[in-house]
C-alpha cells in the first residue's frame, strides 16, 4: 500500500473512533491488503494519536501466532517474552520496561 492510502485509512480509523461510527473492514475494501499493510496503518494511527497528545501505554498484537509463546513458556516464562520481543521488532514495535504482557486466549499468562 502506498503512503497516502495508509494515511487515509489511519485517518478513517481516527474519525470512526472519534465519532463512534462503524466503518467497513479494510481487507474487504482492499483484498490485497496484507498483515504488513495492517501494521503500517496501525503505526500511522498510533503516531497520529501521539502527535495529538495521547500517551502510549502498551501494545495489542492479535495477528502474531501464539504457538511460539506457548512452546517457550514450557522452558521458562522469560523465554516467551523474548520470543514476543523478537516477533514485534519485525514490525518496529519494542517492549519497554513496565509494560504488561497479556496472553492470548490459548496461551497461559507470561
DSSP notation for 32-80 = T--HHHHHHHHHHHHHHHHHTT--------TTS-SHHHHHHHHH-HHHH
What's the pTM value of the predicted model, to 2 decimals? Answer: 0.58
pLDDT for the residue 110: 46
pLDDT for the residue 9: 96
Taking the C-alpha atoms of residue 90 and residue 106, their distance in angstroms, rounded to an integer, is 23
pLDDT for the residue 106: 46
pLDDT for the residue 47: 94
pLDDT tens track, the chain, 110 positions? 999 999 999 999 999 999 999 999 998 999 999 888 988 998 899 999 999 999 877 666 554 555 555 554 556 667 777 777 888 888 888 888 877 776 654 454 44
pLDDT for the residue 88: 82
Amino acid at each position: 500500500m502506498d503512503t497516502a492510502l495508509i494515511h487515509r485509512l489511519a485517518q478513517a480509523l481516527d474519525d470512526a473512533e472519534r465519532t463512534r461510527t462503524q466503518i467497513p473492514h479494510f481487507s474487504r475494501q482492499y483484498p490485497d491488503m496484507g498483515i504488513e499493510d495492517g501494521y503500517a496503518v496501525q503505526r500511522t494511527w498510533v503516531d497520529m494519536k501521539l502527535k495529538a497528545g495521547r500517551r502510549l501505554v502498551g501494545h495489542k498484537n492479535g495477528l502474531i501466532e501464539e504457538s511460539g509463546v506457548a512452546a517457550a513458556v514450557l522452558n521458562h516464562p522469560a523465554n516467551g517474552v523474548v520470543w514476543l520481543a523478537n516477533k514485534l521488532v519485525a514490525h518496529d514495535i519494542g517492549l519497554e520496561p513496565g509494560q504488561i504482557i497479556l496472553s492470548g486466549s490459548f496461551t497461559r499468562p507470561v
